[in-house]
Amino acid sequence: MRFRSVFFGAASRAKLGTPAQQQRFRRTYSHLRRPDSERPSFGIAFDIDGVILRGRTPIGGSPQALRRLYDADGSLKVPFLFLTNGGGVPETKRALELSELLKVQISALQVVQGHSPFRRLVSRFENELIVAIGKGEPAAVMLEYGFKKVLSIDDYASYFNDIDPLSQYKSWGLKHSYERNYNSKGLQPKYDVYSERVKGAFVVSDPVDWGRDIQVLCDILRCGGLPGKENGHQPPLFFAADDLEYQAVFPSERLGMGAFRIGLESIYNSIHSSPLEYTSFGKPNPFVFKNAESILTKLVTHVCQVKETMMGEKCAFNTIYMIGDNPKVDINGAKKVGHPWFSILTRTGVFRGKDNHEQYPADLVVDTVGDAIDFILKKECT
């Protein structure tokens, strides 16, 4: 296996979206203007699945817990963000969904998803043909980031007859393909997929049709970006995360993107002379936590009007609390990056143990996210 770690040293360059998004954020919290001496000395990063929500249902008293981080007038009091390996929709849409479910106002700037770091690759692939894989709206995600030539794997596969030998047995797939092609008035590809090579494949969220997606990705990757042709140099492959399991609505954990990666890698290495090369983002990669720290700092500079000094020093946190349910992902990542991160493990998701996790022990174990907020606010005397 070849694994290329993603650890960009320029975490401080993390952006808070477009100028229009930044202006909307300033306007949202324009009535909260704390002087530097009153700025919060701590921040919070929440995992979502298994901590805040299970499916679309709030858990652990999460709506009430989050409301404690706002002033009575709805202004943000404590800087926090959601740090999740999940995704599949643009951050703007996810922020609206979270706002509706949790009954507090969430900005897109407060949503950091597994695929959020993909926006850093725009300059490299902006005008190249890329394929986006996963549930939800993977192509819309990449287009919003600034990539110009994007096809979802559903659309890409539909232009190659018989690339999926089992498609005839997938009634839902045939119906979806028929409706898409009917609405687009034919099978004319948006791009010249028959001669233009795919220059990058991005697994944005958990794939839906594993068999089809593994088959098509093997075709793309071993044929140099042009399925059905002779073997060629493997295009770059990126995964938004590498979770083996995650907590969904079903009582026991579900297989995640990491399981899909294992399946793809095992098959690819069995049929190709060179091992699969890929890059994985997402927790527990230390870059993700450094990036979150940078975004939290920028949230404070916007909300509290803290200015950088002439020496370029930025306001720092004494503590950043990572509240998660997955010891291997959330707790392990916070431990890897070290100060100022403090890990809190809840029992509402992947972890259900009575005591601390043996391999990846958290700094604190609580039952729910509500308990975690109780501890933080008491400790910080807020």
d(CA 116, CA 240): 8
42-114+284-381 to CATH, choices 3.40.50.970, 3.30.1300.10, 3.40.50.2000, 3.40.50.1000: 3.40.50.1000
User: What does pLDDT average to over the chain?
Assistant: 86
Q: What is the pLDDT of residues 133-170, one digit of tens each?
A: 999 999 999 999 999 999 999 999 999 999 999 988 88
d(CA 169, CA 162): 12
Q: What is the pLDDT of residues 305-334, one digit of tens each?
A: 544 443 344 557 999 999 999 999 999 999
Amino acid 190: pLDDT:
79
Q: Which of 7, 15, 6 is nearest to 295 (CA)?
A: 15
Contact 259, 244 (CB under 8 A): yes
Can you tell me whether residue 3 is helix, strand or coil? strand
Intervals of CATH 3.40.50.1000 along the chain? 42-114+284-381, 119-280
Amino acid 39: pLDDT:
72
Contact 121, 131 (CB under 8 A): no
d(CA 341, CA 318): 9
119-280 to CATH, choices 3.10.180.10, 3.40.50.1000, 3.30.70.260, 3.30.499.10: 3.40.50.1000
**pLDDT exceeds 70 at position 15:** no
Amino acid 172: pLDDT:
62
Amino acid 300: pLDDT:
85
Burial of 11 (0-12, 13-18, 19+ CB in 10 A): middle
Maximal CA-CA distance, the chain: 66
Radius of gyration of the chain, Cα coordinates, nearest whole angstrom: 22
Amino acid 304: pLDDT:
61
Give percent of the chain above pLDDT 70.
Answer: 81
d(CA 85, CA 64): 24
d(CA 312, CA 331): 31
Enter the pTM of the model.
0.84
Cα end-to-end distance, the chain, whole Å: 48
> What are the Cα distances from residue 274, in Å, to 1, 2, 201, 223, 265?
10, 10, 17, 12, 11
Amino acid 43: pLDDT:
96
Kindly indicate the confidence band of residue 210, based on its pLDDT and cuts at 50, 70 and 90: very high
Amino acid 19: pLDDT:
54
Can you tell me whether residue 149 is helix, strand or coil? strand
